[in-house]
Structure 1
Amino acid sequence: MTEVIKQKSTLSYFNTFFLFFGVSVIIELFYMGILGVIQGTTLTILELSLSFDNAVINALILANMPPIWRKRFLTWGMLIAVFGVRLVFPILIVFATTDLSLLESFTLAINNPAEYEKIITASHHIVMAFGGIFLLMIFLSFLFNENKDVHWIAIVEKYASRWSSVGDLKILIAILTISIIGFYTPSEILVADEIKKIDKGEIILPMVYGILLFLSIEFLRGILEDDGSKHESNSMEIEREKIENVVNSKLAKGGFASFVYLELIDMSFSFDGVLGAFAVSQNIIIIMLGLGAGAFAVRNLTILMVDRGTVSEYKYLEHGAMWSVGLLAISMIIQIFMHLPHGLIIALAIIPIAIAFIHSVRENKLDKYKI
């Protein structure tokens, strides 16, 4: 049985991704033309890149789960990932920012995407404020990490790691950002080529909620991962130890706890992609298809890692993804007040990831030559 798995080609692991991606491209082409395909493909690449580390963690936990729960994660978990997080969550965002009921929001999104997109556009500044500060918190959490021992853009990341020991700088920067934006926020903004009067609370409160969401997720994950002991090792060892404590516990060995824990981690990793998607497209169908294809790719990559017992060696890819998150966060905050071209946003999402990938490949080749 082991030999059959080893002989399985790498591409064959991604059959479901290729199938879903192909169907998605066809739907996007008929639905929005070339722009829809470009936006959907960009979201797929973004989701895969942002969730690359998620695939590594998934593989580590999945390898210790009972076979039945492993299968359920790849089936039930896929439905939750594609239709739950990437379809329902954007609808919940609109439900929370408009007077529509949850059922009305869902019905409108499916039956009248054009009208639904207009509603999202009318709440554009609210979504951008909420998503922008949430993504900024993710980027700042990555940047100000004193345990990080691998630095890509060293001139920035090394100094940020040193300063992180002074205090919780990500909260300070986030609050300072809200204060500055709240002070300078105008009473009127341009929305879909129309001047709209707004209240400062429509921007400040969503940003506060964005910070609360981030801190709540971190708190909840901390509860699940805490084993009551102190750690003084590097960040990767800490993460691995926390995960192993959960998967080796009596409750986790039953399968259900590992499944819930894994879904929680997967969901928390998905928030940045879902919220960042609004910077690329505001069409719910394109968001679901693009991010859904990326979710399939992440699941396939997880299976590949589990079967072969390997993890990725592209050490800068996560860094590129995080810098992409940071640039998308800035772009979303700017889009509270003004429109940015789609081409610029797509470039901000892809270029850091592409450069990080190329740099990682080159570093791997140099390491092989040294050996």
Structure 2
Amino acid sequence: MVIRTFGWSFAVTAVGLAVAAYFWGATGFGIVLILSILEISLSFDNAVVNATILKKMNVFWQKMFLTVGILIAVFGMRLVFPLLIVSLTAGIGPVDVVDLAFNDSKTIDGMTYAQHLDEAHPAIAAFGGLFLLMIFLDFMFDDEREHKWVGPLERFTAKLGSFDVLSTLIALVALVVSAQTLAPAHKEGTVMVAGVLGLIAYLGVGGLSDFFETHGELAHIDDEDEDAEEGAAPAKAEGRSGAKTAQLAAGKAAFFMFLYLEVLDASFSFDGVVGAFAITQDLLMITLGLGIGAMYIRSLTVYLVRQGTLDDYVYLEHGAMYAIGALATILLVSIKWEIHEVITGLVGVGFIGIALISSIMRNKRIGHVPGQNSEAKAGAGV
């Protein structure tokens, strides 16, 4: 299972580090390796969140996520997207931006590419912060969620879930406060527009996915057949015995889930891209290092789905969502104050670690053995 799932990641790592050593020597090898580790540490919680969505998609779209999705993640989100952001926010033509990015000594308006990207940070943080904040708020206000991790808090927020627009209202208030109190001088409008675009991206892509999922864009697959398919979650992950029918998103529903995952990945990748420039100014090194890391996050996501890990350790999703809420807050706060990437990474890993420990303790309490069919459902919530 490990080799089958992580095989491409291992291969890409070997090739990527070999390329780094060939073109940049031992220094380049070390930098690319560090960047890979940076990306994995910052995006570990992203893998858990991705897995909660990916397990709803059929085998074809799971494979698309691991193949086409990784190309979008590496070249789109970590190379083209930052170039596009700099071009739009600095008013620089695409050709000049590319020249600026690949020429460390070149400046436009007295600033290098890294400085222009840093200048665009308020807009980037507002977009990503609002997108991630909406994910967190909708999770907290979900009144149909079976398991509760932080019981009193989640039971209270679940009661508020009947007020459908509450998450949007809170996000808009957070955006207005951020724009008025955290945005640099003359950038209040930029922060507002970027935040609204993040909100539109969430509501648009997520809404379309829910719409097509609700209107029957589902594939019915027997659990026994799922076990035979490479990308499908095994029946044991559902805690069921015997052949039953699972409903996995296909067609338009899965397509918009796929887009949702890519926007989510972009929101998570911002801190890694910006933080990478503190290590090197070489855009090719950054793309190579972050690309290797992104490959492992993709493989880890698929591994979690195939192993049914989220069903065996039920609070992992909660931990990831709390990490998303923390990251959304960090992004909005970073509009004004710089927050080191190490803090961001530790917060995400910390929530996941605590959630894993809580899940293990729950399993021992109810007698659930991960990896085996179990009917034990008592004591699921806290």
Which range, TM-score by smaller chain?
Answer: 0.7 to 0.9
1:159 aligns with 2:156: yes
The gaps in structure 2 that reach 5 residues or longer are: 107-111, 218-237, 239-245, 370-375, 377-382
CA distance in 2, matches of 1:51, 1:289: 19
CA distance in 2, matches of 1:70, 1:214: 21
CA distance in 1, matches of 2:285, 2:150: 32
The gaps in structure 1 that reach 5 residues or longer are: 1-8, 190-196, 230-236, 238-242
State the partner residue of 1:141: 138
1:119 aligns with 2:119: no
State the partner residue of 2:358: 359
1:50 aligns with 2:49: no
Question: Taking every aligned residue pair, what percent have the same amino acid on both sides?
Answer: 29
CA distance in 2, matches of 1:113, 1:320: 43
Shift in Å, 1:156: 2.3
State the partner residue of 2:347: 348
Shift in Å, 1:119: 0.9
CA distance in 2, matches of 1:52, 1:268: 15
TM-score (structure 2 length as normaliser): 0.70
1:244-285 Cα offsets, whole Å, 9 max, x none, are 4753xxxx4xxxx68845642432442332245357545766
CA distance in 1, matches of 2:353, 2:160: 28
Contact 1:48–1:294 (CA under 8 A) maintained in structure 2 = no
CA distance in 2, matches of 1:92, 1:71: 28
CA distance in 1, matches of 2:298, 2:273: 23
What is the identity, as a one-letter code, of the residue corresponding to 1:315?
Answer: V
Shift in Å, 1:31: 4.7
Aligned length: 328
Contact 1:83–1:288 (CA under 8 A) maintained in structure 2 = yes
State the partner residue of 2:166: 169
Tell me which protein shows more helix as a share of its residues.
Answer: 1
1:105-142 Cα offsets, whole Å, 9 max, x none, are 34433443993211111222222222222222222122
Aligned pairs for 1:1-371 within 5 A: 9-21=1-13, 27=20, 30-31=27-28, 40-55=36-51, 57-58=53-54, 61-63=57-59, 65=60, 74-112=66-104, 115-185=112-182, 189=184, 197-227=185-215, 244=247, 246-247=249-250, 252=251, 260-261=255-256, 263-277=258-272, 280-281=275-276, 288-289=287-288, 292-301=291-300, 310=308, 312=310, 313-368=312-367
CA distance in 1, matches of 2:154, 2:274: 25
- Compared CA separation, residues 265 and 125, structure 1 to 2 (3 A): closer
CA distance in 1, matches of 2:257, 2:170: 30
For the residue of structure 2 that corresponds to 1:164, the secondary structure is: helix
Provide the aligned C-alpha RMSD in A: 3.8
CA distance in 2, matches of 1:178, 1:58: 29
CA distance in 2, matches of 1:258, 1:171: 22
For the residue of structure 2 that corresponds to 1:51, the secondary structure is: helix
What is the identity, as a one-letter code, of the residue corresponding to 2:12?
Answer: F
For the residue of structure 2 that corresponds to 1:151, the secondary structure is: coil
CA distance in 2, matches of 1:334, 1:261: 30
